[in-house]
Amino acid sequence: MMPARPAKPLKWSTIGDIAEASCEALPVVPLEERREMLAHIGDPSANERFVAQHRAFREVELRLPLATPPPPQTLRVAFWNVERCKYPAASARLAGRVGAGLFLLAEMDLGCARSRQAHTTAALADALGCGYAYGCEFIELGLGDRREREWHAGEENSVGYYGNAMVTGHALRRVAMITLDDSGIWFEPPAPRIGRQMALVATVDFAGGPITVAAAHFDSEAPRHRAANMEALLDALERYAPGQPVLLAGDFNTKTVDVAHRDDTAFKQRLLAQDPLRFLHPEPYEPLFAIAADRGYDWRDANVVATTARQRPDGEPSPPFFRNDFIFVSGLTASEPAIVEAIDENGVAISDHEMLVVTIARG
């Protein structure tokens, strides 16, 4: 086991801040302290103080694989928003069938009642015989969305972490977290969270030299906020490794609408009547794409043109579906993009997002 790097001095992370520190296991915030925070719901300054005080928001939990292959010429990469990874065994079997060498993941739970208190990233990595990196984006003070609050009423999270992850047999170097938002807007009922949106970043060695890989989860409130996320992230990636090729994958929440309308089926149908391709091609309605293109990032060769949302067994969400998930590349060539259905062997959905897969090589 590689020794953990010492953490940098704690301070509140401003937007675009890069926290490059790793540990063998993230420290757990005591349950009593998490309960006390409920008295401050709605106060963004309380969110700021809490994040500044806790190392869990400043370090990446890193476990390297026991053995690593030589740097590759090409690499098959997958991105998947696993929706809490409530079904780690079925998720691992699906990932094993895909056979990617690097999985970039969003919405991964650690110690949440809705995912049976599991460390879902570690469980997935163990099943695949890989190492992993895990970064905490938020601490869940509640049980989750409306359905999760109903299903797990009376339970409590043992840890409550929710974040981004990487699972791979390759060595991950310079793991870091990049802060994308510090507004504290998620510290609100009915599903209060403490934290900030972030991207998980690492360096992976290729035969032709290192590349940067990043897993992101963008704002779901409005296109202008997502554009700000992209500006902050691309600025930080250039500071992280100037001029280095980048693969950026994530759930960018490119729904083309504000949060007030994302579940309004009638409103969405009216939008589609005006532009039937709106949800398949969100680029004209989401400024983040123009920002990425101006910085030399491409997504056209790295993605299949298809919506990436999937209906859960309980019938939610309802159609029409959005295309939220994308892979962007800079200084790399992308080929053989594919979408893998997020279903188990019986055809039952195990996430509300499909998996994206692509092959990359240094350009």
CB 161 within 8 A of CB 203: no
E strand or H helix that includes residue 248: strand 246-251
Query: Residue 1 has what pLDDT?
Result: 39
Q: Using one digit for the tens of pLDDT, what is the confidence trace for 117-159?
A: 999 999 999 999 999 999 999 999 999 999 999 999 999 999 9
pLDDT of 7 above 50: no
Phi and psi based region of residue 99 (left: phi greater than 0; alpha: psi -120 to 50; beta: remaining): left
What is the SS3 assignment for 184? coil
CB 178 within 8 A of CB 15: no
pLDDT of 2 above 50: no
Query: Residue 129 has what pLDDT?
Result: 97
Percent of the chain with pLDDT over 90: 90
From CA 51, how far away is CA 10, in angstroms rounded?
Answer: 9
CATH of domain 18-362: 3.60.10.10
Beta bridge partners of 178: 18, 199
pLDDT of 25 above 90: yes
pLDDT of 295 above 60: yes
CB 31 within 8 A of CB 18: no
Query: Residue 3 has what pLDDT?
Result: 37
pLDDT of 12 above 50: no
DSSP structure class, residue 206: E
Query: Residue 11 — pLDDT band, cuts 50, 70, 90?
Result: very low
Query: Residue 10 has what pLDDT?
Result: 42
Q: Using one digit for the tens of pLDDT, what is the confidence trace for 40-73?
A: 999 999 999 999 999 999 999 999 999 999 999 9
Q: Using one digit for the tens of pLDDT, what is the confidence trace for 181-225?
A: 988 889 999 999 999 999 999 999 999 999 999 999 999 899 999
321-350 average pLDDT score: 97
Query: Residue 256 has what pLDDT?
Result: 96
Query: Residue 314 — pLDDT band, cuts 50, 70, 90?
Result: confident
Cβ neighbours of 290 (radius 10 Å): 13
197 to 13, 23, 217, 310, 315: CA distances (angstroms): 11, 20, 7, 23, 28
